[in-house]
Structure 1
Amino acid sequence: MRTWKFGGACYSVRCLLVMNPLRRNYLSTKPSPAPHVLTKVDERNLEIIFQRLQNVEETTRRLQKDMKKYLENIAMVTKSEQKITADLSGSALCHQNAELRKLIEDYHSVTSQLCNSVRDLASVNQQTFLEPLKKYAGTFSSVDSALQRREHLVQEWRNIAAKVRKLEERERTASNVVKLEREKKSLEVSGRELAACHASLLSELTQFLEKRVDYFRPTLQALLRSQLEYYGNTTRLFTHLVPANRASAKEGSPSLCVSDSEFETSINNKLDRIRALSIVKT
């Protein structure tokens, strides 16, 4: 079980996985300014990191959606291609021509094997791409919780500062002076706590942002390897169909391995003969 630490608190990835990572973006608590406690530079630095993290979270969720769509689409393409070959296998023309029947049977066999390749591709990408991205997207919930903790400290500091201002406006009686000194001490403690929280967030979120490359690199490498395996296997399967056509051509059978121009000329000639038939309307 992997844990992430933000603002001094540890968050477990396991407890975050019960949530749907595609439901919404978790990172929504924008850092509020705290003048007289934090410098404008420190406030601006945290704001920049917050905006960058929002972009990273949005990109992470978009990648998950795109991968799911990709796997669904490639599965649909393979099923459609298998249906085409199944329909061709059942056509009357296929049964009348032995060479065409053999070609379609081999083609149908290839599409059946591609279904297994698609399942393997989906399984690999589920484990090496979708699940790591899901875990990474879940960590933004703990990041937002840490930012909420900072916002609580900011609001607490503002409330104490408001009390100090009111006491300073009152008559300087013994009672008011005691209260004022007590609130000033509380304001000082609150300011130190807020500054420490801000500095910790700034440091840890900067590291978290910088380490994203190390996290995503193996995921992308696994994606590329799965693509190489899938498309390489697809190429090998279809390549096996080509030598059979060439062999039949050497035996005197009509060859299906012709150039694009020759194929286009052949199709146009056949269409011209069909149009010349009396049963075809002009």
Structure 2
Amino acid sequence: KYSIQMTFINLWRKSALTPPLASQGFCKKGDEDELNQLYTHLQTLEECSKKIIKNLKRYEDSLINVNKIEQKLSQEMCPSSICVKSSTMRQLGEQYYSVAAQTTSLCHSHIDMQHKTVLEPIRRYNTIFNGIATSMKERDQCLQEVLKLHNKLEKLQEKERNISNLSKISQAKKDLQASKEHFNCVNRDLINDLKHFLDRKAAYFHPCLQAMVQSQVDHHRESIYLYNELFDKTLLSTSVGDSDMEMAKLFGEIKSLSIVCDK
């Protein structure tokens, strides 16, 4: 069976990403704005990658359904009363059945290629968003530690300034400064990594989509070739215009029969 099994990725789950916490002034304004912009781009990219898989599934399901219908049509044509008593019609039915069987093989090959060149690479790509979400949570945890130490310092500064408290205030300032430096380092590294990740998206997706289009071109070209073979010189002994005239003449004869009620 070639219908896509969606167990490997739930396209309808909510985004793995959550907005970064506001730094409340503990990082550069430019860095915070840049991170928010990157987050927006990440959301869009994650949504687009899911849509590619979802729409490709619809395309493949439609392709499979059309192929199944054609298989049924070709299978039922040969033993039908239309073909049984006419050697010409029987020959055409058998040839059509053969072509339909070959297009089934083409359909399966085409879908296999789509899986290898598009679905599997994008599935792997989508797993990266979970890692990004983890990195953003780690950044937020560092920020929360800064806020915690900042609140601790403020509470100490509100107390009486005796020797014991002054010592605690001094240590709290050092702890806060170290935490701020660590947070800014983590925040900057995250920004740089996200920029690099987004800059590489085209290089990753381009060969996937190019292979997808090429697979479709090859599939339809080979299908057209098979159908064109049906219309060889023995089947097209008369022109399309002559065929239309013959059909009109035969239909007129049928309508003239007494058993036909023409309203």
* TM-score under structure 1 length normalisation: 0.84
Paired residue type of 1:236: Y
1 CA distance for matches of 2:245 and 2:174?
A: 89
Report the secondary structure of 1:36's partner residue: coil
Aligned equivalent of 2:157, options 168, 172, 195:
168
**1:205, CA displacement in angstroms?**
0.3
Unaligned runs of 5+ in 1: 1-17
Please say if 1:258 is aligned against 2:240. yes
Residue in 1 that maps onto 2:36: 47
| Alignment deviations for residues 56-97 of structure 1 (CA, whole Å, 9 cap, x no partner) | 111111111211221122011111011011111121120111
1 CA distance for matches of 2:47 and 2:81?
A: 53
Residue in 1 that maps onto 2:77: 88
163 and 69 in structure 1: CA distance in 2 versus 1, 3 angstrom threshold: same
**1:42, CA displacement in angstroms?**
1.1
Residue in 1 that maps onto 2:217: 228
1:1-282 to 2 correspondences below 5 Å: 20-22=9-11, 24-243=13-232, 246-250=233-237, 255=238, 257-259=239-241, 263=244, 266=247, 270=251, 273-274=254-255, 277-280=258-261, 282=263
**1:280, CA displacement in angstroms?**
2.9
| Alignment deviations for residues 128-157 of structure 1 (CA, whole Å, 9 cap, x no partner) | 110000000011000000000011011111
138 and 23 in structure 1: CA distance in 2 versus 1, 3 angstrom threshold: farther
Aligned residues: 257
Paired residue type of 1:247: T
Question: Which one is further off, 97-106 or 145-154?
Answer: 97-106
Please, what is the CA RMSD of the aligned residues?
2.4
* TM-score under structure 2 length normalisation: 0.89
1 CA distance for matches of 2:211 and 2:113?
A: 8
Unaligned runs of 5+ in 2: 1-6
**1:161, CA displacement in angstroms?**
0.8
| Alignment deviations for residues 138-195 of structure 1 (CA, whole Å, 9 cap, x no partner) | 1100000000001101111111111111111111111111111111111111110110
**1:216, CA displacement in angstroms?**
0.9
1 CA distance for matches of 2:247 and 2:262?
A: 22
Question: Which one is further off, 27-36 or 203-212?
Answer: 27-36
- State, as a whole percentage, how many aligned pairs show the same letter: 26
**1:38, CA displacement in angstroms?**
1.1
Report the secondary structure of 1:240's partner residue: helix
**1:104, CA displacement in angstroms?**
1.4
Paired residue type of 1:218: P
248 and 144 in structure 1: CA distance in 2 versus 1, 3 angstrom threshold: closer
2 CA distance for matches of 1:275 and 1:156?
A: 93
Contact 2:255-2:262 within 8 A present in 1 as well: no
2 CA distance for matches of 1:161 and 1:272?
A: 97
2 CA distance for matches of 1:83 and 1:271?
A: 31
Question: Which one is further off, 57-66 or 32-41?
Answer: 32-41
Contact 1:26-1:144 within 8 A present in 2 as well: no
Residue in 1 that maps onto 2:3: none
**1:27, CA displacement in angstroms?**
3.0
